[in-house]
Amino acid sequence: MDPVSFSTLFFLWLAGLFAGFVDSIAGGGGIISLPALLATGMPPHLALGTNKLQGSFGSLTAAVNYSRKGLVSFRDVFMGIVFTALGALCGTVIVQVLSADFLRHVILILLVAVFVYTLCSPDLGRIDRRSLMRAPIFFGLAGMVLGFYDGFFGPGTGSFWTITLVLVLGLNLKKATANTKILNFTSNIVALIGFCIGGNVVFSAGLLMGCGQMLGAFLGSRLVIQRGTGFVRVFFLVVVAATIVKLAYNAYAG
């Protein structure tokens, strides 16, 4: 890339800050950070790789903050980390082989379903419920599917992790959000390694946005810890709705 102006650098830092804040609460930070990178004139393949770099900073910061508050049990989520890494590796490897067009339409439909279900279930995620599936089996299946999706495509991954952890494992929204950040970081870092090997990362832009991501993720995760599940539910609905609008625009008007 050509040398960038101070205003562009500040724009990228600010985009990282806002994306980290949003992503640490309800997922979906990619709908802010990726368009910001593309807006600077960065080619799509470089934007995707750079987005994984800056996103890793935010997901790690939020994961550490949630873990320090006792909202994550690494023993319980270990299987999820392993299978999410495997899924993300597969998705990153074959992203250049399969068309993403079909996935875009499927994910759009699924996100609409998630939004409607959450909107119509006001008590969803307020308290812990009985798990519908043994955790190792759930993490094996969900880790492969959502890890693959994050490595291959990405938008909405955090939202899908959160809602499946609530519906299947019975976690409340605060715990589900905390666990989501652990799993998001796993798929981010694995995909980032793949993009680095392919030479598709602009480190200067990614590191700068990563600094903004860390601050945004720290502030957002602290807000979740303080405010609880009701706040997360409202923010979750807003972010899912925004993701739906963005994907629909890309699919039908882009």
Arithmetic mean of pLDDT over the chain:
84
Q: What is the mean pLDDT of residues 46-73?
A: 90
| Among the ranges given (59-63, 127-131, 180-184), the one the predictor scored with the smallest mean pLDDT | 127-131
The answer to whether residue 112 is domain-embedded is yes
The reported pLDDT for the residue numbered 41 is: 83
Q: What is the pLDDT of residue 45?
A: 74
Inter-CA distances, 200 with 1, 53, 191, 196, 203, Å: 12, 10, 11, 6, 9
Closest CA to 12 of 145, 206, 217: 206
The pLDDT assigned to 89 comes to: 92
Q: Give the per-residue pLDDT at 151.
A: 86
How far apart CA 29 and CA 8 sit, in angstroms, is 19
Residue 121 within any structural domain of the chain: yes
Greater model confidence, 47 or 143: 143
Q: Of the given ranges (27-41, 118-132, 141-155), which has the lowest mean pLDDT?
A: 118-132
Segment 26-38 shows an average pLDDT of: 81
Q: Please compute the mean of the pLDDT values over residues 97-114 and round it to a whole number.
A: 67
Q: What is the extent of the structural domain holding 93?
A: 6-252
Q: To the nearest 10°, report the CA torsion of 207, 211, 212, 213.
A: 80
C-alpha to C-alpha distance for 67 and 210, rounded to whole angstroms: 20
Average pLDDT over residues 66-94: 91
Look at residue 3 and tell me whether its pLDDT is greater than 60: no
Residues 6+ apart with CB under 8 A from 176: 125, 161, 162, 163, 165, 166, 169
> Residue 22: pLDDT above 80?
yes
Q: What is the pLDDT of residue 96?
A: 54
Cβ(143)–Cβ(223) below 8 Å = no
| pLDDT at residue 43, rounded to an integer | 82
Query: Residue 23 corresponds to which tokens in the numbers above?
Result: 């992503």
Name the CA radius of gyration of the chain, rounded: 17
Most confident of 77-86, 117-126, 215-224: 77-86
The per-residue pLDDT for 103 is 58
CA distances from 49 to 157, 190, 195, 203, 206 (A): 16, 11, 5, 9, 9
Could you tell me if residue 141 is inside a domain?
yes
Does residue 124 carry a pLDDT above 70?
no
1 in any annotated domain: no
CB atoms within 10 A of CB 72: 19
Our count of domains for the chain comes to 1
